[in-house]
Amino acid sequence: MEYDVIMIGSGPGGYTGAIRCAQLGLKTAIIEKYPSLGGTCLNVGCIPSKALLDSSEHYYNAAHTFAEHGIKLEDLKVDLPQMIARKTNVVDQTTKGIVFLMKKNKIDEIHGVGSFVDPHTIKITKADGSEQTITGKNIIIATGSKPMSFPSMPIDKKRVITSTEALTLQEVPKHLIVIGAGVIGAELGSVYARLGAKVSFVEFADSMIPTMDKTMGKELQKVIKKLGADFYFSHKVTKVENTGDEVVVSVDTPKGEQITLTGDYCLVSVGRRAYTDGLNLEAAGVKADNRGRVEVDDYLRTNVPHIYALGDVIRGAMLAHKAEEEGTFIAETIVGQKPHIHYRLIPGVVYTWPEVAAVGYTEEEVKQEGIPYKVGSFPFKALGRARASMDVDGLVKVLAHKETDEILGVHMIGARAADMIAEAVVAMEFRASAEDVSRMSHAHPTYTEAFKEACLAATDNRAINM
């Protein structure tokens, strides 16, 4: 069978790109190694982790804030197997939705491991060992990423686990040691801290979520500390050992001393790596870089012009919505359109509670690039809406150009920040100044007023409610 496009991988980038190809009239096949569609994000990433984050937040509120709201509960318990079962149900519904979308768009769905035979031919090895070969005028590599580890921290999937196993635990850990306080560590560490686990974060850098604006990491640490977590920043893990019922983690302190931490589970969340295993890129002559990522040009084309790649398997942020934009971009490029992705304006979100969300430059970046800037901040606790819901932690920080007032970056930590960041993206896509946003009506009382107030603060230090 010959296709216009073969998409290898059905994560958010793969399935979105396949649908856009089909919409543009291209005969499209999608190959997926696993029985269900949706990739890491839908099966063992974004969606299931959000289901557990929400459940753990409900529990935490029931245990800690309901009484102040005037709601009394007795005999409150965590039923972790039920929590995990609900999460599995959410995943099932979501992945079945993708099957429906493939059928609706007449995309051929083929399950099995895809590997290149030559630059136009893909062999699919199915679970029962049978093989199928198809050819494509264009091929898109969307095979995503896998959790990274180091030889000193071997993953046994029982006590030394990755995010995948952390989504299926059948008991709340007594002491969860989290290696790496980046996005996954913060999200899943906070789930189990809320459910009652003692959580210790061991992080190489000097703060949580170290690649985001430093103010966000500091604020997030304050909130997670309230859950009883411990932090070991600028500490280096040298060894992780499963001793049966326990995990012993050996750590070098910044002073050069060696300490050990003992817990019942250890979550290794030290980043992810591009996943190209089994693809047989050599048969197509496709080049990978020194980090194993498929090399692409500005058009997301590999060194073989009809083979493209997108998402976690190439350079850039490992974000589902970045991959989705790239899927659409490639489909439109194939049919001769001139699409565009504004990488600087792809938002980043950490789904802790409160959430962290950001778009554009961090303060550290504007300093480093020598861009003249000014800052406006506004804390959520000064908002009536936040006090009404008892979600008073966090702030909005706006960076604007000192001379032109153009918004350069927006960083939020607070309730509903993940949704609110969309307003900042729109403002920045249209190159708004802080004053532009200051002059737009924001409904009262809402959390979005914090963005307007931070813009007022940046415009002329004239926030109203502070």
Cα–Cα distance between 281 and 302 in angstroms, integer?
11
Instruction: Work out whether 12 is an interface residue with ligand NAD (CB under 6 A).
Output: no
Tell whether residue 208 is among the known ligand binding residues: no
DSSP-derived secondary structure letter, 292: S
Of 29, 279, 350, 410, which one interacts with ligand NAD (CB under 6 A)? 350
The CB-based long-range contact list for 444-448 (8 Å cut-off, 24+ gap) reads 444/384, 444/385, 445/383, 445/384, 445/385, 445/388, 446/385, 447/380, 447/383, 447/385, 447/386, 447/391, 447/414, 447/415, 447/416, 447/420, 448/420, 448/423
DSSP per residue, 254-287: TTS-EEEEEESEEEE-S-EEE--TT--HHHHT--
Tell whether residue 185 is among the known ligand binding residues: yes
Q: Which is nearer to ligand NAD, 17 or 180 (CB)?
A: 180
Per rule CB under 6 A, count of chain residues that contact ligand NAD: 24
CB of 41 to ligand NAD, least distance (A): 9
CB of 208 to ligand NAD, least distance (A): 8
Instruction: Work out whether 319 is an interface residue with ligand NAD (CB under 6 A).
Output: yes
CB of 148 to ligand NAD, least distance (A): 7
Instruction: Work out whether 233 is an interface residue with ligand NAD (CB under 6 A).
Output: no
Q: Which is nearer to ligand NAD, 312 or 405 (CB)?
A: 312
For ligand NAD, the nearest residue by Cβ is 182
Token readout for 356 is 């962290």
Of 30, 113, 179, 223, which one interacts with ligand NAD (CB under 6 A)? 179
Cα–Cα distance between 72 and 94 in angstroms, integer?
34
Tell whether residue 388 is among the known ligand binding residues: no
Task: Pick the stretch among 88-96, 169-177, 181-189, 285-293 that binds ligand NAD (CB under 6 A).
Answer: 181-189
Token readout for 454 is 């931070």
**Contact in structure between 111 and 99 (CB atoms under 8 Å):** no
Cα–Cα distance between 407 and 433 in angstroms, integer?
5
Count of CB atoms situated within 10 Å of the CB of 241 = 17
Instruction: Work out whether 185 is an interface residue with ligand NAD (CB under 6 A).
Output: yes
Token readout for 275 is 């996943």
**Which of 366, 351, 428 has its CA nearest to residue 50?**
351
Instruction: Work out whether 184 is an interface residue with ligand NAD (CB under 6 A).
Output: yes
Instruction: Work out whether 205 is an interface residue with ligand NAD (CB under 6 A).
Output: yes
**Contact in structure between 255 and 167 (CB atoms under 8 Å):** no
Instruction: Work out whether 204 is an interface residue with ligand NAD (CB under 6 A).
Output: yes
Query: Would you call the peptide bond into 445 cis, given omega within 30 degrees of 0 as the criterion?
Result: yes
Of 141, 195, 197, 202, which one interacts with ligand NAD (CB under 6 A)? 202
Instruction: Work out whether 349 is an interface residue with ligand NAD (CB under 6 A).
Output: yes
Instruction: Work out whether 236 is an interface residue with ligand NAD (CB under 6 A).
Output: yes
Cα–Cα distance between 263 and 62 in angstroms, integer?
27
Return the C-alpha torsion angle 40, 42, 43, 48, nearest 10.
Answer: 110
Task: Pick the stretch among 52-60, 173-181, 385-393, 439-447 that binds ligand NAD (CB under 6 A).
Answer: 173-181
Q: Which residues are catalytically annotated?
A: 444
- Give the type of residue at 146: K
Tell whether residue 412 is among the known ligand binding residues: no
Tell whether residue 123 is among the known ligand binding residues: no
- CA 336 from chain centre, in angstroms, equals 31
Q: HSE, CB side, 13 Å, CA atoms: give it for residue 292.
A: 15
Of 102, 134, 183, 274, which one interacts with ligand NAD (CB under 6 A)? 183
CB of 132 to ligand NAD, least distance (A): 32
446 — phi, psi (to 5°)?
-140, 165
**Contact in structure between 136 and 4 (CB atoms under 8 Å):** yes
Task: Pick the stretch among 199-207, 287-295, 379-387, 444-452 that binds ligand NAD (CB under 6 A).
Answer: 199-207
Instruction: Work out whether 356 is an interface residue with ligand NAD (CB under 6 A).
Output: no
Q: Which is nearer to ligand NAD, 272 or 401 (CB)?
A: 272
Reduce the DSSP state of residue 338 to 3 states and report it.
coil
Tell whether residue 107 is among the known ligand binding residues: no
Q: Which is nearer to ligand NAD, 134 or 179 (CB)?
A: 179
Interactions with ligand NAD, residue window 288-317 (CB under 6 A) = none
Cα–Cα distance between 121 and 318 in angstroms, integer?
28
Of 165, 203, 423, 453, which one interacts with ligand NAD (CB under 6 A)? 203
Of 11, 17, 136, 180, which one interacts with ligand NAD (CB under 6 A)? 180
Task: Pick the stretch among 26-34, 82-90, 176-184, 446-454 that binds ligand NAD (CB under 6 A).
Answer: 176-184
**Contact in structure between 7 and 142 (CB atoms under 8 Å):** yes
Tell whether residue 129 is among the known ligand binding residues: no
Task: Pick the stretch among 68-76, 265-273, 386-394, 453-461 that binds ligand NAD (CB under 6 A).
Answer: 265-273
Distances (CA, A) of 413 to 71, 256, 272: 27, 34, 24
Annotated binding site for NAD(+): 180-187, 203, 271
Residues within the interface to ligand NAD (CB under 6 A): 179-185, 187, 202-205, 210, 236-237, 269-272, 318-319, 349-351
